[in-house]
């Protein structure tokens, strides 16, 4: 079978795919169908945080599959109970709702915010979201997303989202303290805007948002679908900012590569949901929950996140070196833990990603001129050295052709 042709013929054309068929993976290396290896600086889209063919994840999935893959949420299962306890005991939250993806976790968060408003805070249904944010492709998540390129062709979107400038406290303050402030029930923000280009929130901004929202009984929602669960070097991204949200969304790496999302909240907020309010057929099923327990146990092990911080610092030093060496091509580098990006002046990120594939490295083009790196959290310094050399090689070629 010609895999590319068959895919193009039968799968809807929603992805700009690279010209690569991936067949298997091991550690931080993916292999194509001809057996050529690529060092992964993408991890899917920030998913495969323990790399490929991880023994702990495999063992958890295989042993759980032999016991029970699925039962409905009308019954209790041990993997779900264990995972919920771990997530709550290690975060600000008291309760969790399980779903299957990042977008679904956002839908859950929006519904929880609205019902909390109707039943408890008695405010309106509107939500303040950030420009340049990304929350997913379903209608609620899409409406929360502050990038019009994703909206095009799908309007009208869900009513009630106001988008304000990221990191601009006054913009949120004006909305909440303004004449129509009572209309707003929540503020949703990514502490690190991943798809937006690895833009970090200011610590003081989040702190002031926390004070403002708490004062007005407006819920503060952190979307940690991409930056949560160890990616920033802390278990949850909010821990870098010393600010706790009322609701947090998780997904991507949560179940070691299987689809899973979660909405976490404090008791006082979670109590707005009651049996029948919200549901998911597959959410928190025993197979994905078993994989998630294995993943969570691994990243919670003593020393694991310290190592992520160290490797992250190393990656940052290499990116800073590239910026110094290619000052005419690189406008900025940004990073926290093991999520980082290079912003180019004019080089197309997609072109750079294609050239890096030629050098044996996988990356993600997130904006026109922004290339993002989210390697597995187990990436080694040696791989980072090879990666920096490859980026330097690609940029040296570009320097000849594309001076600033």
Ligand X SMILES: Cc1ncc(COP(=O)(O)O)c(C=O)c1O
Please tell me whether residue 366 binds ligand X under the rule CB under 6 A: no
Here's the x/- map for ligand X, 121-140, by CB under 6 A: it reads as -------------xxx----
Roughly how many angstroms between the first and final C-alpha of the chain, as a whole number? 44
Q: Give the angle 49-256-27 at the CA atoms, nearest 5°.
A: 50
Cβ pair 185, 114 in contact under 8 A? yes
CB 188 within 8 A of CB 128: yes
Site for ligand X, residues 152 to 191, rule: CB under 6 A: 190
Is residue 225 within the footprint of ligand X (CB under 6 A)? yes
Phi-psi bin for 165: left (phi > 0), alpha (psi -120 to 50), beta? Answer: beta
257 binds ligand X (CB under 6 A): no
Please say whether the beta carbons of 258 and 146 come within 8 A.
no
User: Is 49 one of the binding residues for ligand X (CB under 6 A)?
Assistant: no
* Pairwise CA distance, residues 404 & 228, whole Å: 35
User: Considering the complex, what minimum distance in angstroms separates the CB of residue 289 from ligand X?
Assistant: 17
> Binding ligand X by CB under 6 A: which of 51, 108, 140, 194?
194
Nearest partner of 125 among 262, 218, 247, 249, judged by Cα:
218
Q: Which of residues 39, 42, 87, 103 is near ligand X by CB under 6 A?
A: 103
In the bound complex, which residue of the shown chain has the CB atom lying closest to ligand X?
Answer: 102
Least distance between ligand X and beta carbon 136 (Å)? 3
Give the interface segment with ligand X, choosing from 219-227, 299-307, 312-320, 332-340 (CB under 6 A): 219-227
Helical H segments across 41-168, by residue range: 43-46, 55-67, 78-89, 102-116, 139-144
Residue among 102 and 284 whose Cβ is closer to ligand X: 102
The nearest distance, CB 400 to ligand X, in angstroms, is 34
Q: Is 91 in the site for ligand X (CB under 6 A)?
A: no
Cβ atoms 86, 293 nearer than 8 A: yes
**Min. distance of Cβ 231 from ligand X in angstroms?**
11
Q: Which ranges of 117-168 would DSSP assign to H, the alpha helix?
A: 139-144
Residue 383 in the binding site for ligand X (CB under 6 A): no
Cα-Cα-Cα-Cα dihedral sign, residues 39, 45, 50, 55: negative
Q: Which stretch binds ligand X (CB under 6 A): 61-69, 146-154, 169-177, 222-230?
A: 222-230
What is the binding site for ligand X (CB under 6 A)? 45, 101-103, 106, 134-136, 190, 194-195, 223, 225-226, 251
């Amino acid at each position: 079978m010609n895999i590319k042709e068959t895919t193009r013929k039968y799968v809807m054309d929603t992805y700009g795919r690279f010209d690569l068929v991936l067949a298997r993976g091991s550690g931080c290396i993916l292999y194509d169908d001809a057996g050529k290896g690529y060092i992964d600086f993408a991890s899917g889209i920030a998913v495969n945080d323990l790399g490929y063919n991880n023994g702990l994840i495999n063992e958890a999935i295989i042993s759980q599959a032999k016991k029970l893959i699925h039962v409905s949420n009308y019954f209790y299962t041990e993997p779900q109970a264990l995972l919920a306890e771990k997530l709550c005991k290690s975060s600000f939250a008291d309760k969790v709702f399980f779903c299957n993806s990042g977008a679904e976790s956002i839908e859950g968060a929006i519904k929880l915010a609205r019902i909390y408003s109707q039943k408890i805070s008695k405010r309106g249904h509107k939500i303040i979201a950030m420009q340049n944010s990304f929350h997913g492709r379903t209608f609620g998540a899409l409406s929360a997303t502050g990038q019009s390129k994703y909206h095009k062709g799908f309007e009208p979107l869900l009513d009630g989202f106001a988008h304000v400038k990221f990191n601009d406290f006054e913009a949120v303050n004006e909305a909440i303290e303004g004449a129509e402030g009572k209309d707003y029930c929540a503020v949703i923000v990514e502490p690190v805007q991943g798809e937006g280009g690895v833009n970090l929130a200011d610590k003081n901004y989040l702190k002031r948002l926390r004070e403002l929202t708490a004062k007005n009984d407006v819920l503060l929602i952190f979307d940690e679908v991409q930056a949560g669960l160890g990616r920033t070097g802390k278990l949850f991204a909010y821990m870098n900012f010393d600010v706790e949200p009322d609701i947090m969304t998780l997904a991507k790496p949560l179940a070691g590569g299987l689809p899973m999302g979660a909405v976490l909240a404090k008791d006082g907020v979670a109590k707005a949901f009651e049996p029948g309010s919200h549901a998911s057929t597959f959410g928190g099923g025993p197979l994905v929950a078993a994989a998630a327990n294995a993943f969570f146990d691994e990243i919670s092990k003593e020393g694991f996140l310290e190592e992520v911080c160290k490797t992250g610092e190393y990656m940052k030093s290499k990116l800073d070196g590239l910026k110094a060496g290619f000052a005419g091509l690189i406008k900025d580098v940004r990073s926290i833990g093991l999520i980082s990006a290079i912003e180019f002046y004019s080089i197309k990120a997609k072109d750079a990603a294609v050239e890096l594939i030629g050098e044996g490295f996988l990356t993600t083009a997130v904006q026109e001129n922004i290339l993002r790196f989210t390697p597995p959290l187990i990436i080694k310094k040696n791989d980072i050295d090879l990666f920096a050399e490859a980026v330097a090689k690609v940029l040296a070629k570009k320097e000849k052709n594309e001076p600033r």
